[in-house]
Amino acid sequence: MEYIVENNNILVNDYIDFDIEHILECGQCFRFYKQSDKDYLLIAYDKILRVTQGDNKIIFHNTNTNDFDTIWTNYFDLGRDYGNIKKVLSNIDEHLHKAVSEKGGIRILQQDTWETLISFIISQNKNITHIKILIEELSKKYGTYIGEEDNVKYYSFPTIEQLSAASEQDLRDLKVGFRAPYIVDACRKVINKEVDLVSLASMEIEEAKNELMKIKGVGPKVADCVLLFGAKRYEVFPTDVWVKRIMEHYYFNKDTKIKAIHEFAVEHYGTLAGFAQQFLFYYARDFKIGKK
DNA sequence: ATCCAGGTGTCCT
DNA sequence: AGGACACATGGA
């Protein structure tokens, strides 16, 4: 990505396949705060970044070339040609064509594996608003203070060591509910190396999924989310209630088992299944496709 | 008020 | 193997 440095900002002109609203609001991440239209504050990798986007310009505020080249280029997956991905997906069928054309600014963020793991354990049986609140509380209580913007203090997501200090009761006090023992189990197994998060990127996909599912509270859906959003495994297809509804609406026209939908999607979308899932998920959620 | 939320573990048959 | 049901909490 070509950019210009101006004061403490990085400016990008005429960039396509990038819409900060699509990227952050599509459901893949939780630590962002909308300031105004196409103007967001986000927390990732112990940094606070403000991104504003106009018609032909993206501004990454208060950053520098070093952070941009070493953190944000990877985080926003800027090395990948989303134009080509969208072209291939659009040619698969009309439904994907529609989703891709409506939500064409999505990019799959390269998030931290550990943060993704805990975030998606928390996500089960909760709506996105509440997931964001819980992750915020967890960061406030166990993370590290990283700075202040407009009189609001921000905290990094807790490290494995930091979160390991929390007991099940501590976590229940933070209102994570029945997920408390799951978080404790994740801390224990990751810190003991019973579960190896680093090798998820290179394992056979089924093996990687099983590795994550050693953790209590991690089933096929959470594992797929961690692999897609936190381990660059784009061949997975996280299948939740939303994806189930839209897939039934488009491809089955009747009540269908999640397992059958998942198998169909992995086969149908192949190595781009993860991208397909995210376009479909965001599109379906935004337009309430298949919602009763 | 009842139901549901980016599911999963456990207990049944 | 596959189907109910419980699980915490908050918002519609």
Of A164, A177, A167, nearest to A134 by C-alpha is A177
Residue nearest to nucleotide C7 (CA to C1'): A178
**Domain-terminating residue out of A184, A206, A230:** A230
CB-proximal positions of chain C, under 7 Å: 3, 7-11
Q: Are strands A152-155 and A145-149 parallel, antiparallel or unpaired?
A: antiparallel
Which burial class, exposed, middle or buried, applies to A215 when counting CB atoms under 10 A from its CB (0-12, 13-18, 19+)?
buried
Looking at the structure, do residues A117 and A220 belong to the same domain, yes or no?
Answer: yes
Q: Residue A16: give its domain's CATH number.
A: 3.30.310.260
Q: Residue A118: give its domain's CATH number.
A: 1.10.340.30
Q: What percent of chain A has pLDDT over 90?
A: 94
Smallest CA–C1' separation from A292, nucleotide: B4
Tell me, yes or no, whether A205 lies in a domain: yes
Looking at the structure, do residues A131 and A184 belong to the same domain, yes or no?
Answer: yes
Looking at the structure, do residues A33 and A64 belong to the same domain, yes or no?
Answer: yes
Looking at the structure, do residues A215 and A279 belong to the same domain, yes or no?
Answer: no
What pLDDT sits at residue A238?
Answer: 98
User: Does the structure show a pLDDT above 80 at A290?
Assistant: no
Q: What is the pLDDT of residues A72-108, one digit of tens each?
A: 999 999 999 999 999 999 999 999 999 999 999 999 9
Q: Give the position of tokens 């404790």.
A: A184
Confidence of residue A287 (pLDDT cuts 50, 70, 90): confident
What pLDDT sits at residue A291?
Answer: 67
The helix (H) or strand (E) run that includes residue A154 is strand A152-155
- Residues lining strand C, beta carbon within 7 angstroms: A 125-127, 129-130, 172, 175, 177-178, 257
Tell me, yes or no, whether A91 lies in a domain: no
Q: What is the pLDDT of residues A185-243, one digit of tens each?
A: 999 999 999 999 999 999 999 999 999 999 999 999 999 999 999 999 999 999 999 99
What pLDDT sits at residue A288?
Answer: 82
B10 C1' to A152 CA distance, Å? 43
Q: Residue A259: give its domain's CATH number.
A: 1.10.1670.10
Amino acid letter, residue A39: D
Looking at the structure, do residues A117 and A225 belong to the same domain, yes or no?
Answer: yes
As a whole number of angstroms, the distance between CA A90 and CA A276 comes to 10
Looking at the structure, do residues A152 and A117 belong to the same domain, yes or no?
Answer: yes
Looking at the structure, do residues A53 and A155 belong to the same domain, yes or no?
Answer: no
Tell me, yes or no, whether A84 lies in a domain: no
Q: Give the position of tokens 């049986």.
A: A125
Looking at the structure, do residues A132 and A203 belong to the same domain, yes or no?
Answer: yes
Tell me, yes or no, whether A193 lies in a domain: yes
- Residues lining strand B, beta carbon within 7 angstroms: A 26-28, 123-131, 178, 213, 216-223, 225, 238-243, 277-278, 281
Q: Per the structure, how many domains does chain A have?
A: 3
Tell me, yes or no, whether A162 lies in a domain: yes
Smallest CA–C1' separation from A126, nucleotide: B5
Tell me, yes or no, whether A29 lies in a domain: yes
Tell me, yes or no, whether A89 lies in a domain: no
Q: What is the pLDDT of residues A140-162, one digit of tens each?
A: 999 999 999 999 999 999 999 99
Looking at the structure, do residues A167 and A265 belong to the same domain, yes or no?
Answer: no
Tell me, yes or no, whether A105 lies in a domain: no
Looking at the structure, do residues A182 and A274 belong to the same domain, yes or no?
Answer: no
Looking at the structure, do residues A210 and A255 belong to the same domain, yes or no?
Answer: no
C10 C1' to A1 CA distance, Å? 42
Smallest CA–C1' separation from A125, nucleotide: B5
The domain of A148 spans 113-230
User: Does the structure show a pLDDT above 70 at A292?
Assistant: no
Looking at the structure, do residues A225 and A262 belong to the same domain, yes or no?
Answer: no
Q: What is the pLDDT of residues A259-274, one digit of tens each?
A: 999 999 999 999 999 9
Determine how many CB atoms are found less than 10 A away from the CB of residue A285. 18
